[in-house]
Homo-oligomer: A and B are copies of this chain.
Amino acid sequence: MTTLTEIAANRSFGGWHKRFRHQSAVLGCEMVFAVYLPPAAERGPVPVLWWLSGLTCTDENFMQKAGAHRVAAELGIAIICPDTSPRGSDYPGEHDSYDFGSGAGFYVNATAAPWSASYRMYDYVTQELPALVAEHLPVSQCQSISGHSMGGHGALVCALRAPEHYTSVSAFAPITNPTQCAWGQKALAGYLGDDPGSWNAWDSCELIRGGAKVAGILVDQGDADNFLHDGQLRPEALAAVCEAQGIPLTLRMQPGYDHSYFFIASFIEDHLRYHASFLCP
């Protein structure tokens, strides 16, 4: 039995926000994650929304800034926020840039040295952490996934590669097509090596083009998002490939909204209710 150490607990909207530390075998280091448990979790297992955060974030950003607890409490859904990279290593350059290395794991399984030894966030998020949570917390196997920016990419990739794990998927301003943007090319080359052919397995658009299926996708994107205008997000690429492959995509361009947590807070209720319609039939 794996040990989970509670390092924080705060009452929130009648439920609990908690943070736990544990030893990750997949990542080879101690990790921290956060969970919001709604009041309904005191009566039995509740469904889960996994939230994957963006560059530079930890387990804390979404819990503190998204204003999601209120509706999660109402709907009886737990929220789990993993960290965004392994935290125990100190590879050359690991902590030098905001968009690669620590805080920027991109939810892939790295294959290039030295990262391959520990940067296996995909296996951590889809396998190890769900098993740990199922062992220790009052959650059911009914699970959805969402995220922001790099974490929106992560949510889409997780749902497309492991559709049996998630009843629904959504994203805020996701990096939809990392093989075709600067953030993604830097990360994928670093974690996977220089052969772009190996990158497609971690690109939502390429996964869909290759036949991966999900029942539907909800995406919110601010039209004043500077990373949209820099070409990092490419929702138009996701729209085109979903159209071509017959995957229902609801892409909402939100006028005037940027890439911040104010944007996420403004629309998280819609996403929670969307996931609840699948999680809590």
Residues of A within 8 A of B (CB): 10-14, 17, 64-65, 67, 69-70, 222, 224, 254, 256-258, 260-263, 265-266, 269
Contact = CB atoms under 8 A, between A and B. Distances in A.
30 contacts: A10-B257, A10-B258, A10-B260, A10-B262, A10-B263, A11-B222, A11-B224, A11-B254, A11-B256, A11-B257, A11-B258, A11-B263, A12-B262, A12-B263, A12-B265, A13-B265, A13-B266, A14-B266, A17-B262, A64-B64, A64-B65, A67-B67, A67-B70, A67-B265, A69-B262, A69-B265, A69-B266, A70-B265, A70-B266, A70-B269
Contacts of A13: 265-266
Oligomer: number of copies: 2
A109 to B, nearest CB: 33
A54 to B, nearest CB: 15
Given A12-B265, A12-B266, A69-B266, 18 more contacts: A10-B257, A10-B262, A10-B263, A11-B222, A11-B224, A11-B254, A11-B257, A11-B262, A12-B263, A13-B265, A14-B266, A17-B262, A64-B64, A64-B65, A67-B67, A70-B265, A70-B266, A70-B269
